[in-house]
Amino acid sequence: MDEVIVIGAGIGGLTLGIALHQAGIPCRIFESAAEPRAVGINLLPHATRELAALGLEDALERVAIRTADTAYFNRFGQLIYQEPLGRAAGHAHAQFSIHRGDLQKLLRDAFIKHAGSDRLVANSRCVDVAQDEHGVTVTFSDGAGGSDRHTVRGGLAIACDGIHSAVRKQFFPNQAEPRYCGINMWRGVTRWKPILSGASMIRAGWLSHGKLIIYPTRAADADGLQLISWVAEIETPTYRKRDWDSKGAMVDFIGAFLDWHFPWLDVPEFLRAADSVLEFPMVDYDPLPRWSFGRVTLLGDAAHPMVPRGSNGTGQAILDARVLTAALRQTPDPVAALAAYEAQRRDITARGVLANRTNPPDAILREVFQRTHDQPFADIDAVISRAELMALSDGYKQFAGFSNEA
């Protein structure tokens, strides 16, 4: 097969590059100059399974936190529900919490090891894709968006260029602006002593009064401090800017958490100790009617950006990479292979986009918030049964594809 041009060196693009080269399919990845954002990512068991199949599980064990459990609290610090995750919950593979920069470095190193450093081309931002019956021609500018341009010829082009995908805009020039779900989020990392088990994913509060997600992404250093990622979410009528790298201001959200002083964490102190803060609105797009156009297709956030809840966006991009690689191996006609990939993945991810809007994993917090009218409870069992809590948790796992049954 002629060389595959992969547009974008994010998690989806790098995973695809590794998978293609292991399958004997030559490719080159073209990336802009953007640095990975200083935030955390969770790799759910179905994503870990795919990375393990590429030989990356040992590397993940070395740099990530093997997530042990998830715990839900109200904004008064009262425990609502706790359950094991990953292998502790009976999965064949672990769930990992990892700093985004660490994950991208791990994937980048693996790709270069398999393909060679010349297969990863920096400072290249896609501005146009053209095709004919024999292949594709992709035009790139320098990463800063300057006037220097060059073209690359290949057999296929795979757009892994994220929520702001230039390729998607080329094929859908009249696509509406992304849908804002009414929730703004601020993200940061804080160096802090281990919280709870030291491998816990914590969800607390609810959106109208402030919700917080906390999880460690690196093991403790010599001072006993972990690098802990957090996301603060608040219902907000509007947002200022839709840019993953937009700097956030502590004053814009800290007020919602000023009285969050729990036996297991002083939240205001924890937030104020952050290395940096980024701000981003929770947005997605309505599912696209198609991804593939002849020799060009979309992958990951370029194809199905979803509201960032449940740690599933990254996992779906990794699953896309596996399915696309398998289609290219099994189908001699590359155009038919892209169509087969889309046929397998588009409806599944569309359901995920829509479900993430209404039934995320933190629906547990919403349910308790509504039943207690945002008041402390004397006994959680009098508010909601454990069977109901388990059903809410298991329902998300099922549709997202990482339940034990799935």
Asked whether residue 39 is domain-assigned, the answer is yes
Structural domain tally of the chain? 2
Same domain, 108 and 256: no
Asked whether residue 91 is domain-assigned, the answer is no
Asked whether residue 405 is domain-assigned, the answer is no
CA atoms of 183 and 203, how far apart (whole Å): 16
Mean pLDDT calculated for residue range 103-119 = 95
CA atoms of 28 and 9, how far apart (whole Å): 10
pLDDT at 170 over 80: yes
CA atoms of 247 and 279, how far apart (whole Å): 6
The pLDDT value recorded for residue 392 is 86
Same domain, 210 and 280: yes
| Closest to 21 in 3D by CA, of 1, 37, 36, 35 | 1
Asked whether residue 136 is domain-assigned, the answer is yes
Q: Of 49-53, 206-210, 235-239, which one has max mean pLDDT?
A: 49-53
DSSP one-letter code for 3: P
pLDDT at 259 over 60: yes
Q: What is the pTM of this model?
A: 0.93
CA atoms of 266 and 74, how far apart (whole Å): 14
The pLDDT value recorded for residue 157 is 98
Domain boundary among 358, 376, 391: 358
Residue 301 sits in a domain whose CATH number is 3.50.50.60
| Closest to 7 in 3D by CA, of 25, 26, 32 | 32
Same domain, 196 and 270: yes
pLDDT at 124 over 60: yes
Same domain, 217 and 280: yes
DSSP reduced 3-state for 364: helix
pLDDT at 328 over 60: yes
First and final CA of the chain: distance in angstroms?
Answer: 33
The pLDDT value recorded for residue 399 is 59
Asked whether residue 78 is domain-assigned, the answer is no
Give 27-52 as a 3 state SS string.
EEEECCCCCCCCCEEEECHHHHHHHH
Asked whether residue 374 is domain-assigned, the answer is yes
Same domain, 306 and 348: yes
Same domain, 16 and 123: yes
Same domain, 48 and 167: yes
Mean pLDDT calculated for residue range 290-315 = 90
Same domain, 216 and 348: no
Asked whether residue 232 is domain-assigned, the answer is yes
Asked whether residue 120 is domain-assigned, the answer is yes
Mean pLDDT calculated for residue range 266-282 = 93
* Tokens standing for residue 217: 């992404």
Same domain, 108 and 212: no
Tell me which residue range forms the domain holding 29.
4-67+100-177+287-358
Same domain, 225 and 279: yes
Least confident of 46-60, 69-83, 345-359: 345-359
Residue 367 sits in a domain whose CATH number is 3.30.9.30
Same domain, 34 and 9: yes
Alpha-helix residue ranges (DSSP H) falling in 131-279: 166-171, 267-272
Same domain, 252 and 272: yes
